[in-house]
Amino acid sequence: MTPLQELRHSCSHVLATAMLRVFPETQLDIGPPTETGFYYDVDLDHKLTAEDLDKIEAEMKKVIDENQAFTRREVPRSEAVEIIRKIGQERYKIGRLADIPEGEAISFYTNGEFTDLCAGTHIRYTKQIKAFKLLSIAGAYHRGDEHNKQLQRIYGTAFPSKEELAAYLNQIEQAKLRDHRKLGKDLKLFVIDDAVGQGLILWTPAGSVIRQELQNFISAELRKQGYQQVFTPHIGRLELYKTSGHFPYYKDAQFPPLVDQEAWGRIANEGCSCAELTHRVEAVSARFAAQVNERAGREVISASRVLPDDKLVEGFLLKPMNCPHHIKIFASQPHSYRDLPVRLAEFGTVYRWEQSGELNGMTRVRGFTQDDAHLFCTEDQVPQEILGCLSLVKTVLATLGMSDYRVRVGLRDPDSAKYTGDPANWDKAESACREAAKTLGVPFTEEPGEAAFYGPKIDFVVRDVIGREWQLGTVQVDYNLPQRFDLSYIGADNQPHRPVMVHRAPFGSMERFVGVLIEHFAGDFPSWLAPEQVRVLPISDKVIDYAREVAARLKAGDLRASLDEHADKLGAKIRRAEVEKVPYALVIGAKEAEARSVAVRSRARGDEGVMTVDAFIEKLRAEVAARALPQKKPASATP
């Protein structure tokens, strides 16, 4: 553990100590450190409240003031069971003890009256915890499995100093105001409905505007870079994913296969068991196995997966990846080196199975649309293609005001033999990734061992306005799939050659990216992305005809405009436009109607004076075309 993790984890022991003082009947599960703090999962019939947290926190302060020492003791397994019984924590700790493999040390840590089964490590004395806070309570299934009992997870954090804790708490407050789940609901940007399914995003009309504008923007940049748009279906045959290796190796992260109608009938008649069905769905023919193994140059499909043809079960998979479909488009034509690179782009929707406890608004979902593309190129073209991907990311992030980002270059682990492809090609691809990352002029780290087995990669991590980091998408070089699908092109030497593939979805998915953008902008989208760009606010019914005419002219000018026809006072209308984060409001009173003008209020800059409708339309259209970020009024110089 790092010193910070050690501090935080030790604080979770302090939490457990206090917990048992306040609620002696508590059964403890586990209390690891997290990226930003720690938690402890507890089983307690009483439902913990905010007042309880205050009480527990006060008791934790006492434990810290008692300056208890942490001591470690290693024991044999039989004695460990006895200790767990003696401290009355059998319900979960016996199971946790069983997780420790034979031959590994079993240790207990004691501080004051509290003893816990734990591998460590810890700080030496409780007083080393200078600043901590309990933050929240959430439900968490034992071992993350929804079939198990739901426990109460107490979250907290600890820092080496009071100042760091205060800064972190402030960031949490800011984050709460920006939470995309809350803003998404308030601003009606997306919906998740249990009847449709958890983790499946329904884009409302307002949210769809944002997504469509972003897609238009990204697509236009892709066209400039020579990409071609394709569309592919949401499912594909199991055999396709057996060829790519996505099935059954990643089946835990996928929706279960859709088995063929006819096969269902046959299986039912044969009285086939579930285990047998699974085996038959995952099986392949001897010919298929031989073909894939030969192309891969090693045994990627073992003999145990081979069954006679009449035992095989046909089916489909909701696509977990777009690559195999794009590969089949590439393979549908013969290619010469002169056609390369071929760049196929699709906002392609894929489905992955995430545990329900992992789901989170738009940022962790079960169905999402990647800003995906696959580049098929010669080996020599790899560096240029990576550069192209990075320049696209740079343009898009700069336009969104996210200039603070870094990249991680995932390289192979020099000591491992698990990697596919020629080491010389790997060297070239890795140096291409490294060189491309350098040209970005942003911080980058090289991470040995973080490459996929089939090629090196580049990940993007952006920092938002309140300092939180978000992992977006990747650019990944791949020597493996061209092999498995036996792709080729004819080189200048008139001989067939294997192309290299580059997978890239630099923004990850539209769901995740828009979720991040909602928080980044705190819902205050720049006018080019705002679902409603301008709202007309008539002061009274007397000017309603002119107000309607203005709204119609705005719409005719291709602006997303509406008219507030509510009967309430101007102040209320202005407030509503503010709350709904509409970038511009046009106030219309008798004077404006008379002069056929509008009084402009900018959400970012306040009052912008009176102008003609045409002048306003021209101004806003220019702002939208430039994809300008909301500009605050420059602070006036002090007299």
Stretch that binds Zn ion, among 303-311, 318-326, 406-414, 554-562 (CB under 5 A): 318-326
Pairing mode of beta strands 561-563, 202-203: unpaired
Nearer to Zn ion, 184 or 348 (CB): 348
Report the distance separating Cα 530 and Cα 616, nearest Å.
Answer: 17
The catalytic residue among 246, 251, 326, 374 is: 374
Nearer to Zn ion, 17 or 381 (CB): 17
Token representation of residue 174: 């800011």
Q: How far is CA 429 from CA 227, 432, 454, 456, in A?
A: 21, 5, 11, 7
Number of residues that make up the chain: 639
Residue 457 is a catalytic residue:
yes
The contacts of residue 142 (CB under 8 Å, 6+ apart) are: 29, 41, 43, 92, 148, 149, 150, 151
The catalytic residue among 118, 323, 389, 433 is: 323
Number of residues that bind Zn ion (CB under 5 A): 3
Nearer to Zn ion, 118 or 365 (CB): 118
Stretch that binds Zn ion, among 22-30, 307-315, 503-511, 561-569 (CB under 5 A): 503-511
Token representation of residue 71: 């001591």
Nearer to Zn ion, 209 or 345 (CB): 345
Report the distance separating Cα 317 and Cα 235, nearest Å.
Answer: 5
Residue corresponding to tokens 């309430």: 568
Rounded to a whole number of angstroms, the minimum distance from the CB of residue 70 to Zn ion is 8
Report the distance separating Cα 12 and Cα 43, nearest Å.
Answer: 15
Rounded to a whole number of angstroms, the minimum distance from the CB of residue 295 to Zn ion is 18
The catalytic residue among 326, 335, 503, 581 is: 503
Nearer to Zn ion, 7 or 582 (CB): 7
Token representation of residue 460: 């993007």
Residue 503 is a catalytic residue:
yes
Rounded to a whole number of angstroms, the minimum distance from the CB of residue 474 to Zn ion is 10
Rounded to a whole number of angstroms, the minimum distance from the CB of residue 503 to Zn ion is 3
Rounded to a whole number of angstroms, the minimum distance from the CB of residue 120 to Zn ion is 6
Report the distance separating Cα 639 and Cα 633, nearest Å.
Answer: 17
Bridge partners (DSSP) listed for residue 509 = 370
Secondary structure element (H or E) that encloses residue 376, with its range: strand 367-377
The catalytic residue among 8, 122, 319, 352 is: 352
Amino acid in position 587: V
Q: How far is CA 270 from CA 276, 280, 309, 316, in A?
A: 11, 13, 16, 21
The catalytic residue among 372, 459, 464, 564 is: 372
Instruction: Report 107-146 residues binding Zn ion (CB under 5 A).
Output: 118
Residue 370 is a catalytic residue:
yes
The catalytic residue among 457, 535, 573, 581 is: 457
Rounded to a whole number of angstroms, the minimum distance from the CB of residue 427 to Zn ion is 23
Q: Examine residue 503 and tell whether it contacts Zn ion (CB under 5 A).
A: yes
Window 388-417: contact mask with Zn ion (x via CB under 5 A):
------------------------------
Secondary structure element (H or E) that encloses residue 329, with its range: helix 323-331
Stretch that binds Zn ion, among 86-94, 194-202, 316-324, 338-346 (CB under 5 A): 316-324
Asked if residues 56 and 31 have their Cβ atoms less than 8 Å apart, the reply is no
Q: DSSP string spanning 431-495?
A: HHHHHHHHHTTS-EEEEET-SBTTB-EEEEEEE-TTS-EEEEEEEEEESHHHHHTT--EE-TTSS
Report the distance separating Cα 411 and Cα 91, nearest Å.
Answer: 43
Asked if residues 227 and 308 have their Cβ atoms less than 8 Å apart, the reply is no
Token representation of residue 133: 């806070």
Among 301, 323, 344, 487, binds Zn ion (CB under 5 A): 323
Nearer to Zn ion, 385 or 623 (CB): 385
Report the distance separating Cα 37 and Cα 12, nearest Å.
Answer: 9
Amino acid in position 259: V
Reduced to 3 states, what is the DSSP secondary structure of residue 285?
Answer: coil
Rounded to a whole number of angstroms, the minimum distance from the CB of residue 323 to Zn ion is 3
Stretch that binds Zn ion, among 71-79, 141-149, 322-330, 514-522 (CB under 5 A): 322-330
Nearer to Zn ion, 323 or 392 (CB): 323
Residue 377 is a catalytic residue:
no
Rounded to a whole number of angstroms, the minimum distance from the CB of residue 135 to Zn ion is 19
Q: Examine residue 158 and tell whether it contacts Zn ion (CB under 5 A).
A: no
Nearer to Zn ion, 33 or 207 (CB): 33
Rounded to a whole number of angstroms, the minimum distance from the CB of residue 507 to Zn ion is 14
Q: How many CB atoms lie within 10 A of CB 572?
A: 13
Secondary structure element (H or E) that encloses residue 291, with its range: helix 286-296
Residue 11 is a catalytic residue:
no
Rounded to a whole number of angstroms, the minimum distance from the CB of residue 107 to Zn ion is 9
Nearer to Zn ion, 324 or 538 (CB): 324
Nearer to Zn ion, 233 or 606 (CB): 233
Report the distance separating Cα 215 and Cα 123, nearest Å.
Answer: 50
**Omega before 583 within 30 of 0, i.e. cis:** no
The catalytic residue among 152, 370, 476, 533 is: 370
Report the distance separating Cα 100 and Cα 309, nearest Å.
Answer: 43
Report the distance separating Cα 329 and Cα 340, nearest Å.
Answer: 14
Rounded to a whole number of angstroms, the minimum distance from the CB of residue 604 to Zn ion is 39
Asked if residues 633 and 606 have their Cβ atoms less than 8 Å apart, the reply is yes
Report the distance separating Cα 131 and Cα 158, nearest Å.
Answer: 6
Reduced to 3 states, what is the DSSP secondary structure of residue 157?
Answer: strand
Nearer to Zn ion, 72 or 311 (CB): 72
Site residues for Zn ion per CB under 5 A: 118, 323, 503
Catalytic residues: 323, 352, 370, 372, 374, 457, 503
